[in-house]
Each structure stands twice: as C-alpha cells, then as structure tokens.
C-alpha cells in the first residue's frame, strides 16, 4: 500500500495542495432547495452554514454551489442579475463569508457557479440596452440584430432556443436579441472587451473572497460567429455533427482564448483557482476545455448518459482515463445533477430495446430512457421499479467512487432520492416546461427541497412549506431516518467517501480479465479490487476482504446489480 493517503490529505495539507481538485469528491448544492434557515420556503446561505457538519461527516472534499446571485429565477438562478452579490432572499455577502469560512474550517473547498454566456434580462446592463438606441454601446454588450421581412417583423434567423421556442425576442423599437436559453436570459456579446473585463472582475471578486474554484456554465457557448447571412437551424445541425469548431453557436475554438486569460488570473492565486467546464461537447473536443492552459477540468457526462451496462461503463472509463492521461487533466465522473432525472430513477425504468432501430430511432429510444418521457406520461409508479433503481444507483456510485479522478455528487443522491414526479403543472418552475408544453416536463423533479427529518412542515427543510412541493414518501428517506440505519444509502455514501481517501494517492487503474461479460473488475495501485456485477445473478468474488459492498453479500457471493470493494 502507498504512503498513508489519509495524512497526505489532512485538511491542512489539502488547503495548500495545488492538486486538491484532481481526485476530489465534490458535492453540488442547489442552494434554494438545500436548507431554509430563515423560514421563507427557499433554501439560503445560512442554511448551508448550518449543515456544514453534515457535509463534513459525509466525507466531502469540496462543495459546489449552483447560483446564489440576485435573480428573478426565470431559470432557477441561472439568470443572474448581479454577478458580484448574493440574492437578498438567500442572504448577504457577510453570510457568504461566514459560510465560506465554515466550509474551509471543516477542511473542504468551495466552488461557485459562473454563468458567463447570458445574464438575466433584469441585469442593469440589459435594462440599459433596452433603454438605449440601436447601435449604441449599451446594445453592443448583448447580441441585437434587425429582423428579416419588409419591416424587420421576422426574427433574424429560425433558431430555436435550448428550452424550446425561438431564440430571438423582439424589443419595442423592433430589434431582436439573441438568447440561446429562455428569453429572460439574453446572451452576452463576448467580442466586446467590456464583457471580458467584467468577468475577470467577477472571477477576482470571488477568488479574493476565498472561493477555491469555479464551475463554468455552458462553457462552450460564449463565442459565436454571427456573420451574415446567418445559417438556418438545419444547417447548424449539420455543422454540429462535424465536431470541428465550425458550428457558429457552439464549441468554437476562439472560446479558449477567453479561458487562457482566465487561467492567467487563476494562477495568480495560491493555490491556483480551479475551474470545471460544463461543456456538452463531443468527447474528442472535451480536452480543449480541460487543458492546463484553460479551465483545467471539464465535466464528462458519458456515464450519466449511459445505461447501467458493463460494456458501456468499461469503454467510457477506458476512453476517459486515456484522455486524462494524454492531456494531464484528471477525469470527472457524474451521475446526477440539477439538470437530469436522478439516477436512482433512470435505472429503475424499463429498458428500451433499441435493437433493429435506425439511428434516429435509437436516438429517440435513448432519450426515452433518460426518464423524461416517463415523467411526461405522468410518472406512472407501476413502471418505475424503485428498489431496482436504487440498488443499481448504489452499485454505480460505488463503481464511480473507486475510479481515479473527481466525483461530482448532487445533493440528495446520498439519500438515494428518486425523482419527484408528482408536481402539478401549476407548481412547476422550470422554463423548459413552460417553453415546451407537452414535450418536456422540465427539471423540477430533481430540485425538490431535501427531506432532513421525517416529520414537520417541509420534512425539516424549513418552518414553512417548501417552494416546490415535497411528496409523502420523503418521510421514509429523510436524512434523520437514514442517519441511524447502518444499511442506509446515507451511511453507504459516508463509508464509501471515507474509504475513498485511501484511493486518492494515485490515478491508476488496471482492468482484471474475467469471463463474465456482465462483471467489471479493476484493481487500484494500493491493491484494492473493485468488482461490479451488472447482471441479474450473483457472482463469486476474487480473494480478499470485502471492506464495503453496495448490498450485503449472500453466502460470500456478490448479488445481482451490486459493487464490492476488497482489500
């Protein structure tokens, strides 16, 4: 076994280690749904401070906060009205400082979300742009264009927004502005030096306040080629398939000039500030974002998009570790976040048989397996196998936590939470739901405030009803219930995260051949064996002592859909 990694990664050394992020277990907090300390139905900054002990006990290396900035909440806070402040409903900058200190004192790092592609339409600059004339400096901070048609009454192009509906909105003087997401999220013009300087100021503002790293929202959208004539949506779709930087809207090579500038700023700090790109790009293009000359790390959503399948998992891990090796970045792994159906639910839905389908059919089938179609059809409980989903989720998480690289966890997955499907249309908040009636159910089901206790108003989330309705079944999965149950998912996460520290001293993994195609077996340099059984029947384990398994072994064998770690 290598030198005691526990002492290598003690809080003090972690604080000074410039590589702390490479193998970190990072926990994503969606602040408005984490813990409500001031009884207004919305989670807040003081609520996070109040739960630092819980986070520490969970065994995390870092906490990532989704946006907590002033926002009209047209997109859950991803519509930022002021980048260098705290939403007054969530607290103050002094509360933020207190929270950051508590997180650091507990030996954890703090990552915040930066949303550079677009602001809120309530941002002072956008309000100024609306009041200003065509062609003014105020309009040049965003992307304004004249429309088509005799009187400019048609949008400049037929582009659709990511959330559905058109991506251009007309303003009273007839011009149109671009928004790749909701109309309340106007895109910035990153050709404008003022925007670049302002984001440098924002990054410095939070870095000076002790923030250790940044998660960069839609990192692949900032720079655009909007030279006329604008291509059609169909042409853009074709260019998208080329994955060569020629798409006018997404993943352009020039975007890395911005991140090179950010890197210079990050490296002024000790330890250097870190960043992880949220860039939904082809695997072949991901390394550019993860470059040490740029953001340094990029989310890898490959496991998140895969079925619970041995072959798929093996090939994803092999490819991504090879890529990490080649680029010098460490790989990232993630199963759940605030944008997708929780993995316990995805894994409990009926498999869609895609064999025999053409490419388009396969694509649709893959989509229907992400859980959205199920939710839209009413989230029929008889189709969801809750137990199976959770069992697979526990196995998958233990597989992930044993991999080299950083693991990103999403609040509530440590409780084994399922997606909440029972949200009435009138209570939904996600713009994807409103802009896509009948096509997209939206992401509210994974953003429902956490159940901390089995009883009381809002299951211990706060003293008043939560901003999104919580289902009855939360009582059975509340943190307080799981805390004392040694077999709970919460205690599985705690134990796995504690043991994982033993694996953080190196970044190697070797596959061990086995004859069962439904079993994956790898070994880490410290001698630990990790075995995941994706199949439906129990399998024998290799020699060794089992230190943790996702479900109890049966007569020494690893049951179906389970993972074991052996020393």
Whether omega for the bond prior to residue 120 falls within 30 degrees of 0, making it cis, is no
Q: For tokens 């602001």, what's the residue? A: 119
Residue 446 as a binder of ligand NOJ (CB under 6 A): the answer is: no
Residue 75 as a binder of ligand NOJ (CB under 6 A): the answer is: yes
Residues binding ligand NOJ: number (CB under 6 A): 9
Of the two residues 339 and 463, which places its CB atom closer to ligand NOJ in the complex?
339
Q: Can you say whether residue 160 is alpha, beta or left, with left for phi > 0 and alpha for psi between -120 and 50 degrees?
A: beta
What residues between 374 and 413 interact with ligand NOJ by CB under 6 A?
none
Of the two residues 269 and 280, which places its CB atom closer to ligand NOJ in the complex?
280
Nearest distance in Å: CB 553, ligand NOJ: 38
Of the two residues 286 and 338, which places its CB atom closer to ligand NOJ in the complex?
338
Q: For tokens 């991901």, what's the residue? A: 286
Of the two residues 75 and 440, which places its CB atom closer to ligand NOJ in the complex?
75
Nearest distance in Å: CB 379, ligand NOJ: 21
Nearest distance in Å: CB 341, ligand NOJ: 14
Residue among 68, 177, 181, 259 that touches ligand NOJ (CB under 6 A): 181
Nearest distance in Å: CB 169, ligand NOJ: 16
Partner residues linked to 334 by β-bridges: 408
Identify the burial level of 265 via C-beta atoms within 10 angstroms of its C-beta, where 0-12 means exposed, 13-18 middle and 19 or more buried: middle
Helices marked H in 209-251 — which ranges?
A: 233-242
Tokens of residue 5, six digits? 């990694």
Nearest distance in Å: CB 195, ligand NOJ: 16
Of the two residues 95 and 419, which places its CB atom closer to ligand NOJ in the complex?
419
Residue among 87, 121, 217, 414 that touches ligand NOJ (CB under 6 A): 217
Nearest distance in Å: CB 280, ligand NOJ: 9
d(Cα 279, Cα 203) in Å, to the nearest integer? 19
Nearest distance in Å: CB 450, ligand NOJ: 18
Nearest distance in Å: CB 163, ligand NOJ: 7
Residue 299 as a binder of ligand NOJ (CB under 6 A): the answer is: no
Of the two residues 220 and 501, which places its CB atom closer to ligand NOJ in the complex?
220
Contact 561, 395 (CB under 8 A): yes
- What secondary structure letter does DSSP report for 352? P
Of the two residues 57 and 339, which places its CB atom closer to ligand NOJ in the complex?
339
Nearest distance in Å: CB 488, ligand NOJ: 29
Dihedral pair phi/psi, residue 505, rounded to 5°: -85, -15
Of the two residues 58 and 276, which places its CB atom closer to ligand NOJ in the complex?
276
Dihedral pair phi/psi, residue 228, rounded to 5°: -90, 150
d(Cα 454, Cα 304) in Å, to the nearest integer? 30
Residue among 218, 334, 417, 566 that touches ligand NOJ (CB under 6 A): 218
- What secondary structure letter does DSSP report for 478? -
d(Cα 169, Cα 176) in Å, to the nearest integer? 5
Contact 558, 542 (CB under 8 A): no
Nearest alpha-carbon partner for 375 in 328, 410, 330, 341: 341
What residues between 110 and 139 interact with ligand NOJ by CB under 6 A?
115
Residue 474 as a binder of ligand NOJ (CB under 6 A): the answer is: no
Residue 339 as a binder of ligand NOJ (CB under 6 A): the answer is: yes
What residues between 230 and 289 interact with ligand NOJ by CB under 6 A?
278
Of the two residues 240 and 518, which places its CB atom closer to ligand NOJ in the complex?
240
Contact 451, 460 (CB under 8 A): yes
Strand ranges (E), 202-289: 213-216, 274-277
Residue among 27, 64, 78, 452 that touches ligand NOJ (CB under 6 A): 78
Nearest distance in Å: CB 339, ligand NOJ: 5
Helices marked H in 300-430 — which ranges?
A: 302-305, 310-327, 343-346, 359-368, 372-376, 386-401
CA dihedral 180, 185, 186, 188 (to 10 degrees): -90
Alpha-carbon distances, residue 103 vs 15, 50, 99, 107, 188 (angstroms): 11, 10, 6, 7, 32
Nearest distance in Å: CB 281, ligand NOJ: 13
Contact 222, 190 (CB under 8 A): yes
Of the two residues 273 and 447, which places its CB atom closer to ligand NOJ in the complex?
447
d(Cα 85, Cα 120) in Å, to the nearest integer? 14
Q: Are strands 62-65 and 25-29 parallel, antiparallel or unpaired?
A: parallel
Nearest distance in Å: CB 75, ligand NOJ: 5
Contact 468, 447 (CB under 8 A): yes
Of the two residues 27 and 181, which places its CB atom closer to ligand NOJ in the complex?
181
Nearest distance in Å: CB 215, ligand NOJ: 9
Of the two residues 165 and 525, which places its CB atom closer to ligand NOJ in the complex?
165
Of the two residues 221 and 415, which places its CB atom closer to ligand NOJ in the complex?
221
Site residues for ligand NOJ per CB under 6 A:
75, 78, 115, 181, 217-218, 278, 338-339
């Amino acid at each position: 076994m290598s030198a005691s990694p526990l002492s290598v990664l003690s809080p003090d050394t972690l604080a000074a280690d410039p590589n702390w992020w490479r193998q970190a277990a990072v926990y994503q907090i969606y602040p408005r749904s984490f813990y409500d300390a001031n009884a207004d139905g919305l989670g807040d900054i003081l609520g996070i401070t109040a739960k630092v002990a819980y986070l520490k006990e969970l065994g995390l290396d870092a906490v990532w906060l989704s946006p907590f900035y002033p926002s009209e909440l047209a997109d859950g806070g991803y519509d930022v009205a002021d980048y260098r402040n705290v939403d007054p409903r969530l607290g103050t900058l002094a509360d933020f400082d207190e929270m950051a200190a508590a997180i650091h004192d507990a030996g954890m790092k703090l990552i915040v979300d930066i949303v550079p592609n677009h602001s809120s339409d309530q941002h002072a600059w956008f309000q100024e742009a609306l009041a200003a004339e065509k062609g003014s400096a105020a309009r040049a901070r965003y992307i304004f264009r004249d429309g088509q048609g005799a009187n400019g009454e048609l949008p400049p192009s037929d582009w659709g927004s990511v959330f559905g509906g058109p991506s251009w909105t007309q303003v009273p003087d007839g011009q149109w502005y671009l928004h790749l997401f909701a109309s309340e999220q106007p895109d910035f013009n990153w050709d404008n030096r003022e925007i670049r300087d302002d984001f440098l100021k924002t990054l410095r503002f939070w870095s000076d306040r002790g923030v250790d790293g940044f998660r960069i929202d839609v990192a692949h959208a900032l720079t655009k080629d909007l030279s006329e004539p604008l291509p059609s949506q169909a042409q853009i779709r074709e260019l998208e398939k080329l994955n060569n930087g020629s798409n006018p809207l997404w993943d352009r090579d020039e975007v890395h000039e911005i991140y090179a500038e950010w890197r210079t700023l990050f490296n002024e700090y000790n330890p250097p500030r870190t960043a992880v790109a949220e860039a939904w790009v082809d695997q072949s293009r991901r390394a550019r974002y993860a470059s040490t000359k740029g953001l340094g790390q990029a989310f890898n959503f490959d496991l998140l998009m895969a079925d619970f399948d041995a072959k798929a998992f093996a090939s994803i891990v092999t490819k991504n570790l090879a890529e990490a090796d080649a680029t010098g970045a460490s790989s990232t792994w993630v199963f759940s976040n605030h944008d997708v159906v929780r993995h316990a639910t995805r894994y409990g839905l009926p498999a869609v048989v895609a064999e025999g389908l053409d490419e388009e059919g396969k694509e649709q089938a893959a989509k229907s397996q992400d859980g959205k179609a199920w939710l839209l059809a009413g989230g029929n409980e008889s189709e969801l196998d809750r137990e199976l989903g959770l069992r697979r989720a526990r196995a998958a998480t233990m597989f992930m936590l044993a991999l080299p690289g950083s693991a990103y966890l999403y609040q509530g997955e440590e409780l084994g939470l399922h997606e909440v499907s029972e949200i009435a249309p009138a209570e939904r908040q996600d713009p994807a739901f409103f802009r896509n009636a009948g096509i997209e159910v939206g992401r509210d089901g994974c953003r429902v405030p956490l159940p901390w206790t089995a009883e009381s108003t809002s299951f211990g989330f706060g003293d008043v009803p939560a901003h999104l309705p919580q289902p009855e079944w939360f009582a059975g999965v509340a943190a307080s219930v799981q805390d004392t149950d040694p077999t709970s998912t919460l205690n599985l996460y705690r134990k796995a995260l504690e043991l994982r520290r033993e694996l953080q001293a190196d970044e190697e993994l070797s596959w061990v051949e086995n004859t069962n195609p439904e079993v994956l077996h790898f070994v880490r340099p410290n001698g630990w064996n990790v075995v995941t059984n994706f199949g439906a029947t129990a399998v024998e384990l290799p020699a060794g002592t089992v230190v943790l398994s996702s479900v109890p072994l049966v007569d020494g064998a690893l049951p179906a859909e389970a993972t074991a770690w052996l020393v």
